[in-house]
Every structure is written in C-alpha cells, then in structure tokens.
Chain A
Amino acid sequence: MAAGREIKKKIGSIQNTKKVTSAMQMVAASKMRRTQQRMHAARPYAHRLRQIIGHLASARPEYTHQYMTDPEEVKRISYIVISTDKGQCGGLNANLFRALLKDINQWQQQSVQADLAILGNKAITFFRSVGGNVKAAIPDIGELPEIEPLIGGLKVVFDEFVDNTVQRVDLVSNTFVNSMTQRPHVRQLLPLSKSDDLQTTHSWDYIYEPEASVLIEGLVQRYIESQVYQAVIENVACEQSARMIAMKNATDNAAAMIDDLNLLYNNVRQASITQEIAEIVGGAAAI
C-alpha cells in the first residue's frame, strides 16, 4: 500500500491547488465586471476624441502643434508598452510581447531603432531578461490607475518626440474584444494620424474659438491622456478576464487530474487487497 499512500498525498496537494485556482477565478470574475464597466464607460470619450484629432490632422490648421508634424523619415521609434502587474493570466502578456517584437523586427529591417517605455511589472521583468532600450519603466499600475503618474512617467517619450530624437510613438496594449478574446494591438499615437471618415479632398480649416493654439494645445494634451488611460484600463479589463479564463482552465484540469488519480488509487488498493487474499489463500492451502 506504499504506492497508495503516495497517490493519496498527490491527490491532496492537487486538491489544494484547485482550491487556490478556483478562488482566484472567482476573485477575477468579480473584478472583471467592475473593470469592464469602467472600460466601457470611458470608451466613447476616447473614441470621439480620436475622431476629432483625426479630423484636425487632416485639416490644414493655422497652428501646427509639435505632435502634428509628420516627419519625412522615421529613424527611431518609441513604443509605450502596457502590460499587467501580475501573471496567472494565460498568454495575455506573452502574446502582446510577441506582437511587439514582430513589429520591432519589421522596423529593424528598415534600420529603424526602437525605444521602449514600459508600464506594468510583467513587461519590466520581461525586457530586463530580453534586453531592449528601455527609456522609462513604470511599475505597479494597480487596478484603479490614476492618469497623472502614468503620464508623468511617460513625459520623456513625448519630449523626445518634440526634439525629434524619435519620429514616431506607438502604443502597445491589449484590446478587449469580449471576455474570451483579447487582441494584442500596436497603434500609432504620434504623430497624430489622419482619420479616414472625411471624404473632403480640398484643404479646409476649422473656425477656432478662442485661439487655435490654445485650443489645439488643450485638445492634444487631452488626447494623449485619454488614449493612454483608455489603453491602461482596457488592459486591466483584459487582464481580469484572461485570468478568469486561465484559472477556470486550471481548476478544470485539476478536477480531471484528481479523477484520474482517484481511479489509479482504487486500482492500486484493489490490487493490494487481491494480493493479500491470494497470499492468505495460498498460505491456508499450504497448511
């Protein structure tokens, strides 16, 4: 029965693991609801603001903001990478990093260098081991991120764009499709990209009230903030749903493993009983 005891021990430890994963699943499920609500609530604003900025970029404004100048040649590109603080969320971060590295590779073939500004502990540990030109690292986003510390930490990136050290800034994060699917996404943040929903071919400009410079300055600042913030809270929502799915799978796997081990245990137990009986019968026959 030595083997039987070993199996019992193993079942016990898997049961403990299962308890942990199912607790994590439930925690993630309740957090998921809250984070998704927050993400959905903030989406329209970010979306409309992006539309307006797109319109602005396709206009011929009397005042050109530094973020609007489209450089002729890209020599250096900055990525703002948004990852999670914790693991246990399936392939969420790994998929994101894979998409990012692919993008970096493509640029490298055109001999464009890449800088990184990274948010979240997972990306920090990843790029510490992989290497990469990390310009800014912001750990511990938390579940209720505030916009100011995030933007403050990223200031170096925008400054470099303004003094033309980098010619393009991309935002790398997961977009939330639904609870089952999250998609890694690399999109251009700077220079401001033109929108394609305007069908005008002639050049036009807004009427500005008050002055163009004041308005555009404020709008662009708000645009950057809202895009980064939206990406962060969307990533948090992705994290929670990915974790819920991952933990559900882990719980299911643990349950299947316990079933298998139980079967094995019963087999071993039956075999040992049969053997004992055979020994007794054999012993009795000998006498």
Chain B
Amino acid sequence: MVSLMNCTIVSAEQEIFSGKVTMVVAAGSEGDLGILPGHAPLLTGIKAGPVRLKLEDQTEEIFFASGGYLEVQPSGVIVLADTAIRADDIDEAEAKETQERARKLMDEQANEIDFARAESMVAESLGQQRTLEELRKRRR
C-alpha cells in the first residue's frame, strides 16, 4: 500500500490539477524540494520551474509554474502558482526567443525597473526550459 496525499495546483486563471499523489517535486526558492506524504507543515516560495507529480499508478505529470507559493499540510499539498501550464503546452521556440530578447534587454537597459522585468523574463524562460528537459528525460 503506497501512502497518498492530496495535491492541488491552482493558478490565478484555473485549477490545473487536483488529486491524489505519492510525491511532489517543486523548485523551491531555496532549491528543489521533494515532498512525500506525512511531511511536516511547510510554507515556501517557489521559483519559475517544473512541478513534478508522481501519481498513484507510478506515472508522472509535469507542470510549469512561474513562481508562487507552496504549502504543505497533513491534509495535502497546495501549489499557488502565478501562472501554471502543463509541460506539454510549453512552446519551446517561444521560450528561447523570450530569453534572448530578455537578455538583450538586460544588456541595453540601465533602467532599474526594466532590468528587473527582463531578469524575471529570463528566469521564467529558464524555468520553462528546465521543465522541458525534465519532460524529455521522462519520455526517454
């Protein structure tokens, strides 16, 4: 008998996943973290990156979250993402392009606000690429 916990991933636009899982792996603000059932209550920020769920039947689902919060309670895990999409829906070409554009913006801009925005764009596209790599690893 595998122990299970509830997991919900919501973004500001939708509830993208809700169900029983055996493990959650997310990109925490202080580094990647894996959560198994029975984990102590935890509150953490998450960075742009993959959120991997191991389901009851040992299959995996991968999502991309662009930052937000993650809460662990005895009752389950809640991922509050700013935006979240299924990893399959990421447009790789677009992610790369965004990254390049953002990097260029960073080079040009002395302005602090634009710089911060460009920085977060780079972080987001990097997170998307990491998510895609994860996805490819699973497929192999």
Chain A positions within 8 Å of B, measured between CB atoms, are 41-42, 44-45, 48-49, 51-52, 55-56, 59, 197-198, 200, 204-210, 212, 214-216, 218-219, 222, 226
Chain B positions within 8 Å of A, measured between CB atoms, are 8, 10-15, 28-30, 33, 40-45, 69, 71, 73-75, 78, 80
Asked whether A215 lies within 8 Å of B80 as measured between CB atoms, the reply is no
CA distance A204 to B43 in the complex (A): 13
CA distance A229 to B69 in the complex (A): 19
Asked whether A209 lies within 8 Å of B14 as measured between CB atoms, the reply is no
Asked whether A215 lies within 8 Å of B69 as measured between CB atoms, the reply is yes
CA distance A218 to B41 in the complex (A): 18
**Further contacts, 20 of them, CB under 8 A, given A204-B41, A210-B29, A219-B69:** A41-B13, A44-B10, A48-B8, A52-B69, A52-B71, A52-B78, A55-B41, A56-B43, A205-B41, A206-B41, A206-B42, A207-B40, A207-B43, A209-B33, A209-B44, A210-B30, A210-B44, A212-B43, A215-B45, A222-B69
Asked whether A45 lies within 8 Å of B42 as measured between CB atoms, the reply is no
Q: Which residues of A contact B80 (CB under 8 A)?
A: 45, 48-49, 52, 222
Please give the distance in Å from B41's CB to the nearest CB on chain A: 5
Q: Which residues of A contact B43 (CB under 8 A)?
A: 52, 56, 206-209, 212, 215-216, 219
Q: Which residues of B contact A48 (CB under 8 A)?
A: 8, 10, 78, 80
Asked whether B45 lies within 8 Å of A207 as measured between CB atoms, the reply is no
Give A51's nearest chain B residue, CB to CB: B78
Asked whether B44 lies within 8 Å of A208 as measured between CB atoms, the reply is yes
Asked whether B71 lies within 8 Å of A209 as measured between CB atoms, the reply is no
CA distance A106 to B60 in the complex (A): 54
Known: A52-B71, A209-B29, A210-B29. A59 touches B78 (CB 8 A): no
27 example contacts (A-B, Cβ-Cβ < 8 A) are as follows A44-B8, A44-B10, A45-B11, A45-B12, A45-B13, A48-B10, A52-B69, A52-B78, A55-B73, A56-B43, A198-B73, A200-B74, A204-B41, A205-B41, A206-B42, A207-B44, A208-B43, A209-B28, A209-B43, A210-B29, A210-B44, A215-B45, A219-B43, A219-B69, A222-B69, A222-B80, A226-B12
Q: Which residues of B contact A210 (CB under 8 A)?
A: 29-30, 44-45
